[in-house]
Structure 1
Amino acid sequence: MSEPLYVPVLPARPHAVEAYRRLAPDVRAALMPLWNIPPLTAGTPAGLDAAVQRFVAPVSAAHRHHGGWIDAPFADGEQIRVLAGSLAVHSEWGRLLPVTGPERDEAQQTSALETGRRCGSGVGLRVRVPGEWDGGTAEAVRSLLTRAGPSVPVDLLLDMGEVLGDRPEADKEALRALDALVPLTAWRTAAVLGGGFPRVTADLLERGLREEPRTDWSMWHGMRTSGRAYLPLLGYGDYGVQHTGALAQVPRPNSGGGPPWGALRYTTESSYVLCKVLNRGDDRIAVNRRAARWITELPGFRARGGAGEAWLRGCADGPLTSPKGTGGPLQWLWAGHTQHLTYVARCLSGGRTGR
């Protein structure tokens, strides 16, 4: 079992793909993302296939040189057959590995295992632990491993889901799960995933610059002090700078809807920093540039961190007479993700991915 350095859990949406594309090449090489197709509402097989390709093709194009996993966690039973054929094409290219889990529909499990066996890519086993560890899950995982057989390499993706302040013992929950799961097989890789970014609401942003603790990062460090023999072999994963529930958002048509506000996001050593920005209105330019300036003036701001920091500096320093560079929802999200992914990868690698 060897480690992926960093496994970000990302939506297969334009802003996240753009963030991945904008990473420095050496930082991108340190990542192995778990991409998630959003809920799909297409009514016919042809429509469903087109919808899948719309989300997966850009992800696949961004992974010409590095690997990742591709998952469709919201697919229902009727969608699985069509999804299986669509996703297998990208797995056969050897970059996007199929994913299944012990709670998935049997047809989905079979499809993922067969794709992993046929392509030689193996399969990611996503084991969810949204609360206390259920010992019965280990038996379900054992059964799935038996079906995979020794010819299919299997990666363990222990997904803790939302890890906020109301789960102070998430590190212990993760360790109980790993104690049961690690001995089951010779896992090709293993990673622990968790989302500590808060749900962004208007109330959360009303008091200017807001700092929220990185509870997912705290969980990881709590685990590292346990002394378990398998800890050096584990990779770290998080949900980037979005709440875990963002994966389940149904894509909206580009109709100009949505709230008139958004948020700039920045990751520091111990906190997620958020600041309100405006999507429209007479004060938009001034408010957005001021928000970016507040972030660039933080003691922990890394002026030469990467593309995310460069965008924030440009927004902060731009003229009040022009809206250019003040962004919109997609730009705010990709800038936040790019900065976060770069920072976490560099922290995990101890600086080996550059400065």
Structure 2
Amino acid sequence: MSGPLYVPVLPTKPHASGALGRLWPDVRAALRPLWNLPPLPGVSEEALATVVGKYVGPVSAASRHGGWLDAPFGEEAQTAALAEALSVYCEWGRLLPVTGPERTGAQQAAAVGTARRCLRGLGVRVRVPGEWDGGLGEGVRGLLVRIGPEIPVDLLLDMGAVLDDRPDAGKEALRALDALVPLAVWRSAALLGGGFPRVTADMLERGPAEGSRADWRMWHEVRATGRAYAPLLGYGDYGVQHPSALAQVPAPSGKGGPPWGVLRYTTDSSYLFVRMLTRGPDRIAVNRAAARRITELPDFRGGEAGPGEEWLSDCAHGPLSDSGGVGGPREWLRAGNLQHMTYVVRSLSGG
């Protein structure tokens, strides 16, 4: 069993594909994203191919080293059209289809059919948002029978949100892995979890706030158990957003958002975040000061550490007359993911 060093769980949105495309080549080569199509409520079967292309085309182009492509929020009525639209990027690109034990029979059959045509494998995403349920193991066993031994399978154990209020996540992940690993000759296995908290305006009123990297601790806890599979277990997280962000319905273009946003920074043990302004006369000064708060932290690794740190340094020290230098919510997310993904790969590779 072997696989990528790092599996970031990302939305098929411009800030994420933009971040992947701007990573340094050695960092990009070490990761394989699990891309997630957002909910597309009410989109007709006839329009799905066009809408899917809008979201998946850019991420497919950015995923030069491969990854997985999932549509976890697809409506039952969209199953056939979604499978057909996604199969284009699996059969002719480098992305692999995904299914799971809780999916409908139609979705499972469609994903398996795509995997048979692309001949490169299938991701089995097993969600454990709370305690491990032994029934999930039986569901995976039945799914593997349906897949057959000729298709290479990758285990994506998704623990969902892993915050400080879930101290037993490591134990539940271990129970799940003990049950799932013996079920197949997995080509790879990765433990996924999201540790970035939901950020509210109240959290940022007094300046920079902090959340612990409980997802990082969970993975290390499992790795330290001495299980035979532990050294081969890949690491995955949801980047610098709470896992619930994947389920956000795309907002209509032209609609204004909140007057504030978030600038993010990942350290060895924590996620740091500070408020940014999206509008107002003081926007440039406030946002440059916010970036400086991060660059002046003892944990800041300098503008040469990666493209995320470089952007933060430029934002912190730019002129107050240059409104373009402070960006907006999409660029703040992109910079946060750039810094985060670079730091995770460096940490995993010992760099």
TM over 0.5: yes
- Superposed counterparts of 1:117-156, under 5 Å: 117-156=116-155
Q: Which residue of 2 aligns with 1:173?
A: 172
- Take 2:217 and 2:57, find their aligned partners in 1: how far apart are those partners? 35
CA contact (8 A) 2:195 2:213 kept: yes
Q: How many residues align?
A: 350
How far the C-alpha of 1:229 sits from its partner, in A, is: 1.1
Q: Which residue of 1 aligns with 2:37?
A: 37
- Superposed counterparts of 1:283-294, under 5 Å: 283-294=282-293
Q: Which residue of 1 aligns with 2:318?
A: 318
Partner amino acid for 1:24? Answer: W
- Take 2:155 and 2:99, find their aligned partners in 1: how far apart are those partners? 10
Verify: 1:68 aligned to 2:61, yes or no. no
- Take 2:43 and 2:253, find their aligned partners in 1: how far apart are those partners? 20
Does the residue aligned with 2:324 lie in a helix, a strand or coil? coil
C-alpha change, 1:118 and 1:322, in structure 2 (3 Å) is closer
- Take 1:124 and 1:191, find their aligned partners in 2: how far apart are those partners? 11
Verify: 1:48 aligned to 2:55, yes or no. no
Partner amino acid for 1:294? Answer: R
How far the C-alpha of 1:256 sits from its partner, in A, is: 4.1
Where do 4+ consecutive residues of structure 1 move more than 3 Å? none
- Take 1:136 and 1:292, find their aligned partners in 2: how far apart are those partners? 48
Does the residue aligned with 2:69 lie in a helix, a strand or coil? strand
- Take 2:166 and 2:291, find their aligned partners in 1: how far apart are those partners? 31
- Take 1:39 and 1:121, find their aligned partners in 2: how far apart are those partners? 26
- Take 1:84 and 1:47, find their aligned partners in 2: how far apart are those partners? 13
CA contact (8 A) 2:19 2:337 kept: yes
CA contact (8 A) 1:94 1:121 kept: no
Q: Which runs of 5+ in 1 are unaligned?
A: none
Partner amino acid for 1:178? Answer: L
- Map Cα deviations across residues 227-255 of structure 1 (whole Å, 9 max, x no partner): 11110111000000000000000111221
Q: Which residue of 1 aligns with 2:266?
A: 267
Q: Which residue of 1 aligns with 2:97?
A: 98
- Take 1:104 and 1:245, find their aligned partners in 2: how far apart are those partners? 19
- Take 2:228 and 2:206, find their aligned partners in 1: how far apart are those partners? 45
- Superposed counterparts of 1:99-114, under 5 Å: 99-114=98-113
How far the C-alpha of 1:3 sits from its partner, in A, is: 2.6
CA contact (8 A) 2:309 2:339 kept: yes
- Take 1:91 and 1:9, find their aligned partners in 2: how far apart are those partners? 17
Partner amino acid for 1:141? Answer: V
Verify: 1:161 aligned to 2:156, yes or no. no
Verify: 1:246 aligned to 2:245, yes or no. yes
Q: Which residue of 1 aligns with 2:86?
A: 87
- Take 1:16 and 1:200, find their aligned partners in 2: how far apart are those partners? 19
- Map Cα deviations across residues 67-101 of structure 1 (whole Å, 9 max, x no partner): 11000000011111001111111111240000000
Q: Which residue of 2 aligns with 1:7?
A: 7
CA contact (8 A) 2:128 2:160 kept: yes
Aligned CA RMSD, in angstroms, stands at: 0.9
Stretch moving more, 91-100 or 191-200: 91-100
Stretch moving more, 205-214 or 318-327: 318-327
- Take 1:325 and 1:256, find their aligned partners in 2: how far apart are those partners? 23
Q: Which residue of 2 aligns with 1:276?
A: 275
Q: Which residue of 2 aligns with 1:341?
A: 341
Does the residue aligned with 1:73 lie in a helix, a strand or coil? coil
Q: Which residue of 1 aligns with 2:23?
A: 23
Verify: 1:223 aligned to 2:222, yes or no. yes
CA contact (8 A) 1:42 1:51 kept: no
Q: How high is the TM-score relative to the length of structure 2?
A: 0.98
- Map Cα deviations across residues 9-53 of structure 1 (whole Å, 9 max, x no partner): 000000000010010011000000000000013432222221111
CA contact (8 A) 1:197 1:243 kept: yes
CA contact (8 A) 1:99 1:125 kept: yes
Q: How high is the TM-score relative to the length of structure 1?
A: 0.97
CA contact (8 A) 1:42 1:48 kept: no
CA contact (8 A) 2:98 2:111 kept: yes
How far the C-alpha of 1:166 sits from its partner, in A, is: 1.1
- Map Cα deviations across residues 147-195 of structure 1 (whole Å, 9 max, x no partner): 1111111100000000011110111100000000000010011000000
Q: Share of identical aligned residues, percent?
A: 67
Partner amino acid for 1:176? Answer: R
Does the residue aligned with 2:189 lie in a helix, a strand or coil? strand
